[in-house]
Amino acid sequence: MHFIVYTNYKFKTSVVDGVEIFFTVPMFMIVKDLSYTVEVKKSGLVVVKNMKIVGLHCSSTDLHAGQIALIKHGSRLKNCDLYFSRKPCSTCLKMIVNAGVNRISYWPADPEISLQNEASNPMTTDDAKLDAKAVERLKSNSRARVCVLLQPLVCYMVQFVEETSTKFDFIQKIAKSQPDLNTDFYTVCRQERIKEYESLFLISSEEMHKQILMTIGLENLCENPYFSNLRQNMKDLVLVLATVAASVPVFGCFGFYNSESRRTNETDHQDLPQEIARHCMIQARLLEYRTEDHKTGVGAIIWAEEKSRSCDGTGAMCFVGCGYNAFPAGSEYADFPHMDDKQKDREIRKFRYIIHAEQNALTFRCREIKPDERSMIFVTKCPCDECVPLIKGAGIKQIYAGDVDAGKKKADISYMKFGELEGVSKFTWQLNPLHANALEFRDPTARENGVQKTKSLDDQQHQSKKLCLGHY
């Protein structure tokens, strides 16, 4: 399983046996975060088969995440690895054990909720105790390994993610357009995210956390140094997640907008709510950290909106596939050149060998892209000339991306086709054009030489009460 190592200000992948922690744990956290109800803490689930993600699910009001996995995958769950954001209850566990899953891992912060007795407090009822007992029995009698998969992050991981997130295109775009900004808005966004995610994923009281661990049969993790290590590892992961999330910030009127003037009522071309678009882009950003390219990481994730809401807690949104830029599947570390286009000799450059994030997402997708559904791809970089025709040809209706490289012709890779692409809606990270137009209407000096001049943060705060750092 790939793991990022920080070396010499560049990153490379190394193989850490059987560890899916860095990517998948934050992934299910993000799925879990899709819940919009505050009363019930929903749970998220990632389904992995042959090291590829084949399902991203979220519990709904009627069904637990494990039940949804069963409905969606049935016997295809055989040999899959499942990553839950809380310990599954006996109803879910017996079904997924029966389907022949390989491993069940869970985030050790919340106790299982018995389906039989969800309305009452699961910690105190007799039914809940019976359920916990049944879970333990199912766990010990099953072939599947049921475990807490939390290992320390590699050295400098947090620091590396912080550095790359601060430099991420979206943050740079805001910083450039707001030269008068005297606060470090990225740090403010990150602090907000850390607070939000800590309250979602961590248990602040050590005593209460110990009690929960006892309830869910993890007494062995209550002793030190295991307990403090566990808490530290959980904290580090939450920090990584918050740091990545802050690089797609809720900031002023920035978001994913279609800058083309054409307005349409066709649902295929209507934009997603900003919080969902941001959410999916954060998933793509997480994928980016698995890259095999020393210099540039790219992540891509495809979702489709089904015609009607399904039983999944993700609503009508359905996971199609995901990928990151890497050398052909199965290749070893030094099989292909890693050089970039600054190297003189074109023969020793990486470009002809590396598979792009979009190409991997399309190749290893677990579901068809249906012509009657609104399908969308989220990419952390502007899709290049190799990928644009693939995206269009595959029938994807919308692209959410950054456009920093758009229109550039590099020595080995070009980004000319994205701008000219027609028939696919493009939503790029920018200041809301409507807001920009409104500003211009009120203030003709907002345009300089025909170029939109953006307002300072103070002006924006004054004019629009919408500035909402860290809040949806």
Ligand X SMILES: O=c1ccn([C@H]2C[C@H](O)[C@@H](COP(=O)(O)OP(=O)(O)OP(=O)(O)O)O2)c(=O)[nH]1
Binding site for ligand X (CB under 6 A): 293, 295-296, 298, 325, 340-342, 354, 356-358, 381, 383-384, 387, 410, 413
Rounded to 5 degrees, φ, ψ at 273 are -55, 145
What's the full length of the chain, in residues?
A: 472
Nearest to ligand X of 350, 435 (CB atom) = 350
Please report how close the Cβ of residue 285 comes to ligand X at its closest, in angstroms: 13
Please report how close the Cβ of residue 297 comes to ligand X at its closest, in angstroms: 8
Q: Cα angle vertex 289, ends 285, 290, to 5°?
A: 120
Please report how close the Cβ of residue 369 comes to ligand X at its closest, in angstroms: 18
**Rounded distance between C-alpha atoms, residue 133 and residue 139, angstroms:** 10
Nearest to ligand X of 185, 429 (CB atom) = 429
C-alpha 268: how far from chain center: 23
C-alpha 218: how far from chain center: 28
Nearest to ligand X of 254, 351 (CB atom) = 351
Please report how close the Cβ of residue 288 comes to ligand X at its closest, in angstroms: 9
Nearest to ligand X of 43, 428 (CB atom) = 428
Question: Which residue of the set 292, 305, 358, 373 is catalytic?
Answer: 358
* Residue 434, number of CB atoms within 10 A of its CB: 10
Nearest to ligand X of 85, 428 (CB atom) = 428
State both tokens at 193. 């995210």
Does the annotation mark 422 as catalytic? no
Please report how close the Cβ of residue 287 comes to ligand X at its closest, in angstroms: 10
**Rounded distance between C-alpha atoms, residue 216 and residue 148, angstroms:** 11
Please report how close the Cβ of residue 357 comes to ligand X at its closest, in angstroms: 4
**Rounded distance between C-alpha atoms, residue 288 and residue 84, angstroms:** 22
**Rounded distance between C-alpha atoms, residue 89 and residue 114, angstroms:** 6
Nearest to ligand X of 32, 338 (CB atom) = 338
Please report how close the Cβ of residue 127 comes to ligand X at its closest, in angstroms: 50
Nearest to ligand X of 126, 345 (CB atom) = 345
Please report how close the Cβ of residue 438 comes to ligand X at its closest, in angstroms: 33
Nearest to ligand X of 8, 224 (CB atom) = 8
The residues assigned a catalytic role are 358
